[in-house]
Chain A
Amino acid sequence: MRIENHPILAFADAATVEFTFNGQALSGREGEPIAAALHDAGVRVLRHSPRYHRPRGLFCAIGNCSSCLMTVNGVPNIRVCVEPLRAGMTVETQDGKGRLA
């Protein structure tokens, strides 16, 4: 969910762009991290861990912890907490180490 009315901050307007998440059409703000757009849509499970197949989400949001690796445009292991959203991206939850499409 987006913050509608913030007492302190004014968020800059950015163009709305379409992308897909596991085939489902979603939209977000151009240039924001992919993870922000996914959170806005209520998507918080980003990948499953290699060993025990446990769900993982955002943790550090600054590209440090690798909790948020997803497959973007067919390329696995993209840190979606820092990867900017662009129009037409295909974003997929990643299972384990991910394979090149």
Chain B
Amino acid sequence: MKEVDIVVIGGGPAGLSAAVHAAKMGAGVLLLERSQALGGQLVKQTHKFFGSRQEFAGERGFDIAHTLMEQIAQQEKIEVWTNATALGYYPDGVLTVKRNENFRTFRPRKLIVATGASEKALAFPNNDLPGIYGAGAVQTLMNLYGVMPAKRVLMVGAGNIGVIVAYQLLQAGVEVAAVIEAAPRIGGYWVHASKIRRCGVPILTGHTIRQAHGTTQLTGVTVCRLDEKWTMIPGTDTLFEVDGLCLAVGLSPLTELLWQAGCKMNFVPELGGYVPWRNEYLQTTHKNVYVAGDVAGVEEASAAMVEGKLAGLAAAFALNHQTADFAADYRAAKQQLNALRSGPLSAKVCHGLCKVMLEEAM
């Protein structure tokens, strides 16, 4: 069994940033990514990101991903395994990994879990028809492989993912019939919503799916209005003739490994579901397990990168790696994270974080 300083699980913005900063402190890092390429959600994002210059604001998600990957490539202390899925983490500190078809075990001195989140599904009649996709699948087809998922799509969800992917569909040459949203208000940033509105895409808040239609594949979707109590209003049905339906109804943190590790968890709806308790160093109740990014609470790539940095620095520091500017670096990153969370739209996230913050220091 191989001993390693730090294993980072997940090659999204949080994991990439954690690996780079832990390695800069002098720690040896093994970075595991289950898919064939690094970058996580970022590689599929074609829009320019918010934030400040420190988080690459104004650059497009996939460009940011490539910048992070270059930083990884420059670090000799980082070994990268793609097609490598972390399967289990056991009480004796053993991590099992499946790489391609081979199984390996490790005993990392510190583990940083940055597995991101998975998409939520939605229950309605015929929701298994071909032509109904998660938003991530639509992005993968379009933005990684250059293939259109359908000719005309109805989007479900007016959070950031829904409005952004609707815009990406238009850019790919796919018609967007409408964006529907059960809540009475648009959850995504208004500037993103306005971008699709001026292309003529209606955003219908207070609407939900009654059912999907089709025998071999999707041919249409019936949508209806919801009242204040979220019940369907009879007589408000509208049929959209579409061959694609895209679900962007939220993400939930991918926490299996944390449960296995025995980390204390809490259900926090503001953060997407069950998330681990952690202290300000992103250390969970298991002293060798750190978290960063969406797995610690569904938020944004900008915050995920800073959390990754904090977790990477803290985990390396705990292994007695030191650099002259560690303290200053750490403080600056904390301030950066606070600045990112200072807006009113982050109030929800901050409220959620209060429910899983441990007081005591490392």
Chain A–chain B contact at Cβ < 8 A:
yes
Question: Which of A53-74 touch B at CB < 8 Å?
Answer: 54-64, 67
How far in angstroms is the closest Cβ of chain B from A27?
Answer: 13
Contact residues in B for A58 (Cβ distance below 8 Å): 130, 133, 137, 141, 149
Q: What 4 pairs across the A-B complex have the smallest Cβ distances?
A: A57-B130, A61-B137, A11-B146, A36-B145
Contact flag A62-B136 (CB < 8 Å), given A46-B130, A54-B128? yes
Query: CB-nearest residue of chain A relative to B118?
Result: A64
Bound CA span A29–B145, Å: 9
Which A residues are in CB contact (< 8 Å) with B142?
A: 3
- Size of chain B's interface in residues, with CB distance under 8 A? 33
Rounded to whole Å, the gap between the CB of A30 and the closest CB of chain B is 12
Interfacial chain A residues near B353, Cβ < 8 Å: none
Q: Tell whether, in the assembled complex, residue A60 and residue B172 are in contact, meaning their CB atoms are under 8 Å apart.
A: no
Is B173's beta carbon under 8 Å from chain A? yes
Q: Is the Cβ of B132 less than 8 Å from the Cβ of A59?
A: yes
Does residue A39 face the partner (Cβ distance < 8 Å to B)?
Answer: yes
Q: Which residues of B contact A101 (CB under 8 A)?
A: none
In contact, A2 and B147 (Cβ under 8 angstroms): yes
4 additional A-B pairs beyond A36-B141, A59-B132, beta carbons within 8 Å, are: A29-B145, A56-B128, A57-B131, A58-B141
A 23-42 binary contact with B (CB < 8 Å = 1; else 0): 00000010011011001100
Establish whether residues B147 and A3, one from each chain, have CB atoms under 8 Å apart when the complex forms.
yes
CB-CB < 8 A to A1: which residues of B?
147-148, 151
Asked whether B35 is an interface residue with its Cβ less than 8 Å from the other chain, the reply is: yes
In the complex the two chains form, is B136's CB within 8 Å of A60's CB? yes
A36–B217 contact, CB under 8 A? no
Asked whether B102 is an interface residue with its Cβ less than 8 Å from the other chain, the reply is no
Pick the contact of B130: A45, A63, A64, A82 (CB < 8 A). A45
Determine the chain B residues whose CB is within 8 A of the CB of A9 once the complex forms.
46, 62, 143, 146
B171 CB-CB contact with A under 8 Å? yes
Q: What residues of B have a CB within 8 angstroms of the CB of A56 in the complex?
A: 128, 130
Answer yes or no: B160 CB below 8 A from chain A CBs: no
- A69 and B36 alpha carbons, distance in the complex (Å): 19
Contact A60-B137, Cβ < 8 Å, known A3-B172, A4-B173, A9-B143: yes
Name the residue on A nearest B139 (C-beta). Answer: A61
Q: Does A7 lie within 8 Å of B171, measured CB to CB?
A: yes
A80 within 8 Å of B by Cβ? no
Report the separation of the CA atoms of residues A35 and B144 in the bound assembly, to the nearest whole angstrom: 13
Q: What are the residues of chain B within 8 A of A90 when measuring CB–CB?
A: none
Shortest CB–CB separation between residue B177 and chain A, in angstroms?
17
Chain B, residue nearest A32 (CB): B145
Cross-chain contact A6 with B141 (CB below 8 angstroms):
no
Is A78 an interface residue when CB atoms closer than 8 A count as contact?
no
User: Known contacts being A3-B148, A7-B171, A44-B217, is A39 close to B130, with CB within 8 Å?
Assistant: no
In the complex the two chains form, what is the Cα distance from A7 to B172 in whole Å? Answer: 8
B35 to A, closest residue via Cβ: A62
Residue of A nearest to B62 (CB): A9
How far apart sit A44 and B172, CA to CA, in the bound complex (Å)?
Answer: 19
B74 within 8 A of A: no
Provide the bound-state CA to CA distance between A58 and B141, in Å. 10
- Asked whether B88 is an interface residue with its Cβ less than 8 Å from the other chain, the reply is no
Q: Which residues of A contact B280 (CB under 8 A)?
A: none
Question: Does A20 count as interface, using CB distance less than 8 angstroms?
Answer: no
B250 within 8 A of A: no
The complex places the Cα of A86 from the Cα of B215 at a distance, in Å, of: 31
Q: Which residues of chain B have C-beta atoms less than 8 A from A54's C-beta? A: 128
Chain A nearest CB from B116 CB (Å) reads: 10
Check B137 against A81 for contact (C-beta < 8 Å). yes
A63 to B137, CA, bound (A): 10
List A contacts of B62 (CB < 8 A). Answer: 9
Given A46-B130, A56-B130, A57-B217, also A8-B146 (CB < 8 A) = no
Decide if B128 touches A2 in the complex (CB within 8 Å).
no
Q: Are A55 and B172 in contact (CB under 8 A)?
A: no
Please give, as numbers and ranges, the residues of chain B lying within 8 Å of A29 by CB-CB distance: 145
B136 A61 Cβ-Cβ under 8 A: yes
Most chain B CB within a 10 A radius of its CB, from A5, A46, A56: A56
Query: Is B147 touching A40 in the complex (CB atoms < 8 A)?
Result: yes
B134 CB–A CB distance under 8 Å: yes
- Tell me whether A45 and B216 are in contact (CB under 8 A): yes
B140 close to A (CB within 8 Å): yes
